[in-house]
Structures are given as C-alpha cells and as structure tokens.
Amino acid sequence: MGSPSVSTHRGLVHWQGLLLVVSLLNFWCLPATAQFAIVSTNVAEGKDVLLRLRNTPPDVISFLWYRGEGAKSNRKIASVSVPLRAFAKGPLYTGREIIYTQGPVLLKEVTMEDAGIYTVVAHLRNSKKEIGFGWLNVYQPVRRPTLQANSTTVTENKDSVVLTCNTNAVSTEWLFYGMNLQLSERKKLSEDRRSLTIDPVKREDAGYYQCEASNPISSAESWPLELHVQHE
C-alpha cells in the first residue's frame, strides 16, 4: 500500500522487492530503542500514497502531522485523537489527507509540491511525546528518451561514432540488441552516462542500440537506432 505506483515493469518489481526486504530487515533487526520515524516513500505524481510510520510507540493518544521539518503550528496538516477517533484539520490541510488512528496518512492525488520532508508527533498517555521525520519523493513518469548518432553509417577501423541519449531522467542504461551493452576500451560512456563513444568502430558494433532512462518509479526505452558498419 505504501507504493501504489508499482508498475509491472520488470525493473520496478525488483526495486520494490528490494525495498520490501530492506523494510523487513529494519522491522526485525532494529533494537527496542529504535527511532520513531515516517517511512520515506517514492511516488508517481497523481497517485495516492500512504505515508507509514515505523517504531510507533505504544499508548499513543494522538498523532499530529506537519509539512516540513518540525512541529510548527502554522505548518500543521491535521491531527487525530486515537481514543475519540476524532480528526482535526490544520492550516495546511488540503482535503486530500486522511490520518488513520494507527498513525499513517493517506495522501491522495500527489502533486510535485507535496514532495519534501514531513513531521509527525505522537502524544503518549504518560504526557510524553515522540517526534518522527521522513521524506516523500514525488516523480513524474519518465518520458521516452530519444537516441541520436552523429552518423549511422560508419567505416570499420576508421571512423568513430558518438551516440547521444536525450533524457532528463535520473539514470541511463544502454542496450545493444535489447541486452545490456558491454563497455570496453573502444566503447565508453560519458560521466553523465548520456553519451556513448565507439572509437574506432568495428564490424561487430553494427546493430541496434537503445538507451533506457529511469527514475525510482518508472522507466522508458528509446526506439532502436541501427548502426551500419561498412568495410574499409
């Protein structure tokens, strides 16, 4: 539920699986004094997201949620009284938030402006309180990148070629015939991984190239670009 944006893409299933393992390990391995916190979460713009809590103390009588770091009354989203099951709006309530009596918040139709740090305060029965923080990361789905070469017909052992992946995504991977491209002395990526230089071009470099752009919630591949290699 913390990841309503789960897509069926193979890479994302892996990512989500990893997150699940990490959160289970946290759940089992942390000592009893573990810090109360909001579980930092990635979500696609426009989706709903559940901001979960971890290490929630026992005997909470109310949860208060705030945007930003710290419990500033003018930044309050809403609060919920656990015994009364009563919900109270704060100045930053937008009508898209629901606080459950167990503590988490459901935030509907997330916007880019919702990204950032959140604070939760749990008031306890013994008149103590605990404060927790966490991040909400909001991403736009990655657009299909475009792949260009400075020439698509080159001469073996003589020419070099530069392929450029046009994307603003966080990460870029390269594919040759749909498989991960093997880099070598002749095939190098730029530091930002958005351009591939093959110098010099060999016969075996002929074929279909793609780049794949991704961020934590989505990925997209370019259309294939065919490189033709002529004899010397």
Q: How far is the CB of 188 from ligand NAG (least distance, A)?
A: 12
Residue with Cβ nearer ligand NAG (148 or 180): 148
97-99/146-149 β-pairing:
unpaired
What distance in Å separates the CA atoms of residue 63 and residue 44, rounded to the nearest whole number? 26
User: Would the CA dihedral through 172, 174, 175, 181 be positive or negative?
Assistant: negative
Strand (E) positions, 82-178? 86-89, 97-99, 105-107, 116-124, 129-139, 146-149, 153-155, 161-166, 171-176
- In angstroms, the Cα distances linking 13 to 104, 218, 219 are 24, 11, 12
Q: Work out whether 154 is an interface residue with ligand NAG (CB under 6 A).
A: yes
Residue with Cβ nearer ligand NAG (80 or 163): 163
Q: Work out whether 150 is an interface residue with ligand NAG (CB under 6 A).
A: yes
Segment lying near ligand NAG (by CB under 6 A), choices 49-57, 114-122, 154-162, 186-194: 154-162
Q: Work out whether 148 is an interface residue with ligand NAG (CB under 6 A).
A: no
Q: Cα 111 to the chain's mean position, in Å? A: 14
What binding mask, one character per residue, do residues 162-191 give for ligand NAG by CB under 6 A, x or -?
x-----------------------------
Q: Work out whether 206 is an interface residue with ligand NAG (CB under 6 A).
A: no
Q: How far is the CB of 151 from ligand NAG (least distance, A)?
A: 3
Applying CB under 6 A, which of residues 37, 142, 161, 211 lies at the interface with ligand NAG? 161
225-230/153-155 β-pairing:
parallel
The residue ranges that bind ligand NAG (CB under 6 A) are 150-151, 154, 159-162
